[in-house]
């Protein structure tokens, strides 16, 4: 556990560590004020136990004489008020420190969440294609939240209470070593014994909660994502029962952790009472029954115990909470380590609108994929096996082929989302590299099969992921006009401000595709790539969308992936792909007349 906490500490940013260091001073200050409060009770009780202490030449007698009080009773009241004042200050200091500690944990939690979100959003396409979205969401939200409230927060508490208990024990040690050592040994041994008994359960249930948590997220994302199928097939029961099972596991795990961390309080109360009886007997023996001597010592020990016992309990609760929830830390551990550099790279640069500064790299002659080989990590077969093809600038090019022939992979390479293992992608004979990739991507508009609509206005959906105040409304209107959506927008009373997406107005599949086109056009793309963007449409709508697309031919380069050959009929060149290679190329009529596979695909 200590190793994990140490590692977690090393993952904090410099600023977070610096803030922690400042908090450490507050914690020590808090402990010292608590000790001052405890010690202050001593003189008060000494006078209560034996008023004659105000006579003679002791320190109390000197203080009484110096105070100028008329009677011992008034002096005693003054002492009482002083004790209260010290305790009041100690309480204020503690409240402030506790508040700062809670704030620190919450801030670190929020920063970790942002750091992971930032890290995931900057991961390459291959990372996202092999990671479950619900798993990532669960890490950014639930697991970080768990780490915040059940690891960082208790760790801060553990820190504060350990310092307080240690310093208090040292103070008592100075006052009476026997009492200090016996007290610490009795309570630490009791807690250690209890902790050793429950620790395995805590780890086990902590892990179970993490597993069940991610299962629940998966079920939610699959259940809501496939709601149409579920409604049709009436298969909700299976999902609900698995969700119930996972929820029960979480409840049981959290209950066990909570229960086990609270349980020792009752055992400790028993030990505490036993200790008080032993202490009284010890003091009676030490001061030979002199109550005047026993009273101040007993008050100090009682008050110290009153502070230390909950301290011990908190230390125990914190350790068990941390132990029970370190599994949450384990689930995000690797990503936190990996995001260490990322946090610096991206947060600091404040790249709010990164595209604005990037000059698009517009192809003048051709885009060329040259002897490209690509294989996905963990697979043996090559997705692309020496693919070579040329896309002339401002022409319309189609990619066709059976499912799995490598069309989407070729397009992902073209978009710069993945890198070839071998071979090159050249724009007017200049290869795409890490340095010029952003310029290349700035000139591409991509229209996927499924257009993602955010729960926002049409305006914000066209200018996707751009801050509202930075949206060029004229450009949005122009893009909508080019995508032939302006008529539709005019029909909505709120025009561009009409909300679409999950909770907004519903638009048809064809309109959705056109919105995707408008989004690509808003970027002022000179290369438009459609990945089976029309396959979900009916024949008539597809025809209309294809007419839209064709209007761009001659003005921009268009690359179309299509299953239905009717989609690529008007293309200047069609490439036929098979097993990651080009097997034939030509116009629709060329291929229809000579290529058997093409004829079969086209049902000629
Ligand atoms: N993320 C991935 N991880 C592993 N293998 C993949 C991944 N994506 C694609 N593949 C494999 O790469 C090969 C080419 O796939 P690709 O999606 O490029 O073909 P496609 O022609 O676009 O197919 P479709 O028309 O069905 O979309 C296939 O064998 C596929 O199984």
pLDDT in tens, 232-273: 877 888 899 999 999 999 999 888 888 887 777 777 788 888
**Correct CATH for 452-524 of 3.40.50.300, 1.10.630.10, 3.90.550.10, 3.30.2010.10:** 3.40.50.300
pLDDT by residue (tens digit) across 149-201? 888 989 998 999 999 989 988 988 888 888 888 888 888 888 888 878 887 88
- Neighbour tally for 155: CB within 10 Å: 20
**Nearest Cα residue to atom 6 of ligand 1:** 376
pLDDT (average), residues 24-46 = 87
Domain ranges in the chain are 2-344, 354-443+526-604, 452-524
CA count, 13 A, side-chain hemisphere, 111: 19
- Where does the pLDDT of residue 351 fall: very low under 50, low under 70, confident under 90, or very high at 90 and above? very low
- pLDDT, mean over the chain: 85
108-122: average pLDDT: 92
Per the structure block, which two tokens stand in for 309?
């016992």
Q: What is the pLDDT of residue 604?
A: 52
Q: Is the predicted pLDDT of residue 135 greater than 60, yes or no? A: yes
3-state secondary structure of 147: helix
Q: Is the CB of 409 under 6 A from ligand 1?
A: yes
Strand-pair partners of 373: 385, 422
Parallel, antiparallel, or unpaired for β 573-578 and 396-401? parallel
Asked if residue 147 lies in contact with residue 332, where contact means CB atoms within 8 angstroms, the answer is yes
What's the confidence (pLDDT) of residue 599?
A: 87
The pLDDT, as a whole number, for residue 573 is 95
The conformation of residue 553, written as its DSSP 8-state character, comes to B
* C-alpha angle 417-421-425 in degrees, rounded to nearest 5: 60
**Residue written as tokens 């000579």?**
594
Whether 408 is in the pocket of ligand 1, judged by its Cβ within 6 Å, is yes
> Burial level of 568, CB count in 10 A (0-12/13-18/19+)?
buried
- What pLDDT was estimated at residue 92? 93
Round to whole Å and give the CA distance between 587 and 556.
19
Residue owning tokens 């989302």: 417
* DSSP symbol at 52: G
**421 CA to middle of ligand 1, Å?**
16
Q: How far is the CA of 127 from the centre of ligand 1 (A)?
A: 15
Pocket test for ligand 1, best of 404, 418, 534 (most atoms within 8 A of CB): 404
Q: Is the CB of 383 under 6 A from ligand 1?
A: yes
Task: Please state, in angstroms and as integers, the Cα–Cα distance from residue 477 to each residue in 70, 336, 458, 515, 529, following that order.
Answer: 90, 42, 10, 12, 21
Q: Which of 52-56, 173-177, 437-441, 573-577 has the highest mean pLDDT?
A: 573-577
Q: What atom of ligand 1 comes closest to residue 130's alpha carbon?
A: 1
Query: Lowest-pLDDT range, 38-47, 489-498, 537-546?
Result: 537-546
**Residue of 128, 378, 399, 405 to test ligand 1 pocket, by largest number of atoms within 8 Å of CB:** 405
Q: Are 69 and 78 in contact (CB under 8 A)?
A: yes
- Report the nearest atom of ligand 1 relative to the CA of 381: 29
Q: How far is CA 430 from the centre of its chain?
A: 40
Tell me the C-alpha distance between 573 and 396, whole Å: 7
Tokens coding 331: 């689930």
Q: Cβ(552)–Cβ(397) under 8 Å? A: no
- Looking up tokens 């009484």 gives 64
Query: Which residue minimizes the CA distance to atom 13 of ligand 1?
Result: 383
In degrees, rounded to 5, the angle at the alpha carbon of residue 376 between the alpha carbons of residues 563 and 422 is: 95
Query: How confident is the model at residue 501, as a pLDDT?
Result: 67
| Separation CA 386–CA 372 (nearest Å) | 5
- The pLDDT assigned to 342 comes to 59
Cα 213 from Cα 592, distance rounded (Å): 54
Average pLDDT over residues 105-120: 92
How many angstroms does the Cα of residue 508 sit away from the middle of ligand 1?
28
Q: With beta carbons less than 8 A apart as the criterion, state whether 518 and 462 touch.
A: yes
Q: Which atom of ligand 1 is nearest to the CA of 129?
A: 1
Q: Is 407 in the pocket of ligand 1 (CB under 6 A)?
A: yes
Ligand 1 and 448: CB distance under 6 A: no
* Distances from the Cα of 45 to the Cα of 55, 102, 196, 295, angstroms: 16, 36, 40, 6
CA distance 138 to 346: 22
Output helix, strand, coil percentages for the chain, rounded to the nearest 5: 70, 10, 20
Tell me what pLDDT residue 502 has.
62
- Distance from first CA to last CA of the chain, Å, rounded? 69
Atom of ligand 1 nearest to the CA of 405: 21
Question: Was domain 2-344 assigned CATH 1.20.1560.10?
Answer: yes
- Tokens of residue 15, six digits: 């600023």
Burial readout 403-425 (b: 16 or more C-beta within 10 A, e: otherwise): eebbbbbbbbbbbbbbbbeebeb
pLDDT at 384 over 90: yes
Residue 588: what pLDDT?
92
Give 355 or 565, the one with higher predicted confidence: 565
Ligand 1 pocket test: pick from 408, 414, 577, 601 the residue with the most ligand atoms within 8 Å of its Cβ: 408
Same fold, 2-344 and 452-524: no
| Atom number in ligand 1 closest to CA 401 | 21
Nearest atom, ligand 1, residue 577 CA: 21
pLDDT for the residue 341? 67
Q: Is 300 in the pocket of ligand 1 (CB under 6 A)?
A: no
pLDDT tops 50 at residue 569? yes
Q: Which residue has the tokens 């950014």?
A: 140
**pTM score above 0.80:** no
Instruction: Tell me which residue has its CA closest to atom 26 in ligand 1.
Output: 403
pLDDT of res. 353: 45
* Tokens of residue 512, six digits: 């959705």
Residue 463 and residue 467: Cα distance in Å, rounded?
9
- Burial of 294 by CB count in 10 Å (0-12 exposed, 13-18 middle, 19+ buried)? buried
Minimal-distance CA residue to ligand 1 atom 29? 404
Contacts of 447 (CB under 8 A, 6+ apart): 513, 516, 517, 519, 520, 528, 529, 530, 531, 533
Please report which confidence band the pLDDT of residue 547 belongs to, taking 50, 70 and 90 as the band edges. confident
Distance 124 CA to ligand 1 centre (A): 17
Task: Tell me the CB-side half-sphere exposure of residue 373, using CA atoms within 13 A.
Answer: 8
pLDDT at 348: 43
Least trusted range by pLDDT, from 93-107, 109-123, 421-435, 475-489: 475-489
Ligand 1: which of 385, 407, 421 to mutate, most ligand atoms within 8 Å of CB?
407
- Cβ atoms of 585 and 578 closer than 8 Å: no
Please report, to the nearest 10 degrees, the dihedral formed by the alpha carbons of residues 574, 576, 582, 584 taken in order. Answer: -80
Classify 354-443+526-604 by CATH class.
Answer: alpha beta
CA distance 199 to 192: 10
Distance 558 CA to ligand 1 centre (A): 22
Q: 449 CB less than 6 Å from ligand 1? A: no
Residue of higher predicted confidence among 603 and 513? 513
Q: Is 404 in the pocket of ligand 1 (CB under 6 A)?
A: yes
């Amino acid at each position: 556990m200590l190793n994990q906490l140490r590692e977690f500490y090393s993952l904090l940013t410099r600023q977070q560590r610096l803030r922690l260091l400042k908090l450490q001073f507050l914690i020590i200050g808090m402990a010292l004020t608590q000790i001052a409060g405890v010690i202050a009770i001593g003189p008060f009780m000494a006078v209560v136990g034996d008023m004659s202490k105000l006579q003679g030449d002791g320190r109390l007698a000197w203080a009484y004489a110096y105070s100028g009080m008329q009677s011992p009773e008034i002096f005693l009241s003054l002492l009482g008020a002083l004790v209260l004042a010290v305790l009041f200050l100690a309480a204020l200091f503690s409240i402030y420190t506790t508040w700062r500690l809670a704030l620190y944990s919450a801030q670190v939690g929020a920063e970790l969440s942002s750091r992971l979100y930032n890290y995931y959003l900057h991961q390459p396409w291959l990372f996202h294609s092999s990671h479950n979205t619900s798993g990532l969401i669960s890490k950014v939200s639930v697991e970080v939240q768990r780490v915040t409230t059940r690891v960082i927060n208790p760790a801060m508490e553990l820190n504060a209470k350990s310092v307080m208990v240690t310093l208090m024990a040292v103070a008592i040690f100075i006052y009476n070593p026997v009492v200090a050592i016996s007290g610490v040994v009795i309570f630490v041994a009791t807690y250690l014994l209890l902790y050793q008994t429950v620790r395995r359960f805590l780890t086990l249930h902590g892990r179970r909660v993490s597993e069940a948590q991610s299962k629940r997220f998966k079920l939610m994302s699959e259940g809501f994502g496939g709601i149409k199928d579920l409604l049709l097939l009436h298969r909700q029961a299976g999902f609900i029962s698995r969700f119930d099972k996972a929820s029960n596991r979480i409840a049981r795990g959290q209950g066990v952790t909570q229960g086990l961390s609270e349980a020792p309080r009752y055992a400790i109360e028993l030990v505490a009472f036993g200790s008080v009886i032993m202490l009284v007997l010890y003091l009676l023996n030490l001061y030979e029954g002199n109550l005047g001597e026993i009273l101040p010592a007993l008050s100090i020990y009682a008050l110290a115990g009153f502070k230390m016992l909950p301290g011990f309990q908190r230390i125990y609760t914190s350790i068990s909470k941390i132990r029970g929830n370190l599994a949450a830390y384990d689930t995000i551990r690797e990503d936190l380590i990996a995001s260490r550099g990322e946090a610096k790279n991206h947060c600091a640069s404040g790249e709010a609108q990164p595209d604005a500064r990037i000059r698009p790299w517009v192809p003048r002659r051709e885009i060329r994929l040259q002897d490209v080989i690509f294989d996905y990590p963990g697979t043996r077969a090559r997705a692309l096996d020496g693919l070579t093809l040329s896309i002339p600038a401002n022409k319309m090019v189609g990619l066709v082929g059976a499912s799995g022939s490598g069309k989407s992979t070729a397009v992902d390479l073209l978009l710069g989302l993945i890198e070839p293992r071998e071979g090159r992608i050249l724009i007017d004979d200049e290869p795409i590299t890490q340095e010029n990739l952003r310029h290349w991507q700035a000139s591409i508009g991509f229209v996927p099969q499924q257009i993602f609509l955010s729960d926002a206005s049409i305006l914000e959906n066209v200018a996707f992921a751009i801050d509202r105040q930075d949206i060029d409304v004229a450009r949005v209107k122009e893009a909508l006009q080019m995508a032939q959506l302006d008529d539709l927008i005019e029909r909505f009373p709120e025009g561009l401000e009409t909300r679409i997406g999950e909770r907004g107005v519903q638009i048809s599949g064809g309109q959705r595709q056109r919105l995707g086109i408008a989004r690509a056009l808003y970027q002022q793309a000179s290369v438009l790539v459609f990945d089976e963007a029309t396959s979900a449409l009916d024949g008539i709508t597809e025809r209309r969308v294809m007419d839209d697309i064709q209007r761009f031919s001659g003005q921009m380069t268009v690359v179309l992936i299509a299953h239905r050959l009717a989609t690529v009929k008007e293309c200047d060149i069609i490439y036929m792909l098979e097993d990651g290679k080009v097997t034939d190329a030509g116009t629709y009529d060329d291929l229809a007349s000579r290529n058997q596979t093409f004829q079969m695909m086209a049902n000629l």
